[in-house]
């Protein structure tokens, strides 16, 4: 599991993308949920924001972004709605559902536990 995580760079397609229980997948899910928790936005805006907040470290290709968003929608974590943008175009806006909020809390907890575990492991090696 750990090796998989390390070898995984976000934005690379992996075949087991559709496995929702996969932790790595969960990471992208968590990022998207977190972004959408701040405010509802459309897919393009999500991709911009993702690049922005991660400081270009996390490269999520647009080809991976949309399947991920659709998955979150089908799981019932986010809700889609067609709205007009500032420049008067119709776009699909995603917002978090009540379920999505709960899911995000869970994921964030898991992530916190995992990352602290990993950093402990990494520090151990340095000694």
Partner 1 sequence: MRLGRWIYTIPLRLRSLFRREQVDQELDEELRYHIEQKTEGYVAKGWSPSEARRRAMLHMDGIERSKEECREMRKVNWIHDLIQDLGYAARQLRRNPGFTVVAVVTLALGIGGTTAILSVTKAVLLQALPFPDLDRLVMVWGQNSELGWNYMPFSPAEFAAYRDRSKSFEQIAGVEAISFNLVAGVDPEVVAGGRATAGLFSLLRVSPLLGRTFTPEEGQPGRGNVVLLTHDLWQRRFGADPGVLGRVLKLYHTPALIPGAEAQPVSDIFTVIGVLPPGFLLPTVQAEVWVPRASEEQTTTRGGSLQMVARLRPGVTPAGAQAELDILTRRMKQQFPETAKDRAHFLTLQEHDIGDVRPTLLILLASVGLVLLIACANVANLLLARLTVRQRDMAMRLVLGAGRGRLLRQLLTESLLLAVVGGAAGWLLAFWITPGLVALTPGDALRHRQVTMDLSVFGAALGVTLLTGLLFGLAPAFTAARTELAEALQEGSRGATGGTGRHRMRSALVVAEVAMSLVVLVGAGLLAQTLLHLMRVEPGFNPHNLLTARVALPPAKYSAPQQRTTFFRQVLERARALPGVQAAGATTVLPTAGSPAAIFFTAEGQPPPAPDAIPTVNVSLVSPDYFRAMGIPIVRGSEFTEENLGRIRVIVSESLARRYWPDEDPIGKGIKLNRPENPGPFIPILGVVKDVRQSGPQDEARPALYLPMLHQPAMTLVVRTARDPLELAAALRREVLALDPEQPVHDVRTMEQRLDEVVAQERFRALLLGFFAGAALLLAALGIHGVIAYAVSQRTHEIGIRMALGAQARDVLRMVVGHGLRLALTGLLIGAAAALALTRWMSTVLFGVSAVDPVSYFAAGAMLCAVAVAACWLPAHRATRVDPMAALRHE
Q: Which stretch binds partner 1 (CB under 8 A): 2-10, 23-31, 38-46, 107-115?
A: 38-46
Q: What is the 3-state secondary structure (H, E, C) of the chain?
A: CHHHHHHCCCCCCCHHHHCCCCHHHHHHHHHHHHHHHHCCEEHHHHHHHHHHHCCCCCCCCHHHHHHHHHHHHHHCCEEEEEEECCCCCEEEEEEECHHHHHHHHHHHHHHHHHHHHHHHHHHHHHC
By CB under 8 A, the count of residues binding partner 1 is 27
Please, which residue, 89 or 125, has the CB nearer to partner 1? 89
Q: Looking at 39, 52, 54, 61, which residue binds partner 1 (CB under 8 A)?
A: 61
Work out whether 106 is an interface residue with partner 1 (CB under 8 A): no
* 22-30, 31-39, 58-66, 107-115 -> range binding partner 1 (CB under 8 A): 58-66
Residue ranges in contact with partner 1 by CB under 8 A? 13, 17-18, 42-44, 47, 61-63, 66-67, 70-71, 73-76, 79, 82, 89-92, 97-99
């Amino acid at each position: 599991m750990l090796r998989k995580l390390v070898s995984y760079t976000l934005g690379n397609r992996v075949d087991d993308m559709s496995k929702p229980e996969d932790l790595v997948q969960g990471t992208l899910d968590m990022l998207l949920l977190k972004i959408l928790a701040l405010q509802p936005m459309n897919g393009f805006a999500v991709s911009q924001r993702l690049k922005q907040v991660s400081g270009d470290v996390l490269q999520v290709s647009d080809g991976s972004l949309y399947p991920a968003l659709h998955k979150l929608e089908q799981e019932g974590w986010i809700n889609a709605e067609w709205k007009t943008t500032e420049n008067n175009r119709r776009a699909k806006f995603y917002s978090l559902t009540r379920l999505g909020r709960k899911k995000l809390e869970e994921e964030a907890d898991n992530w916190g536990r995992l990352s602290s575990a990993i950093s402990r492991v990494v520090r151990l090696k340095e000694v």
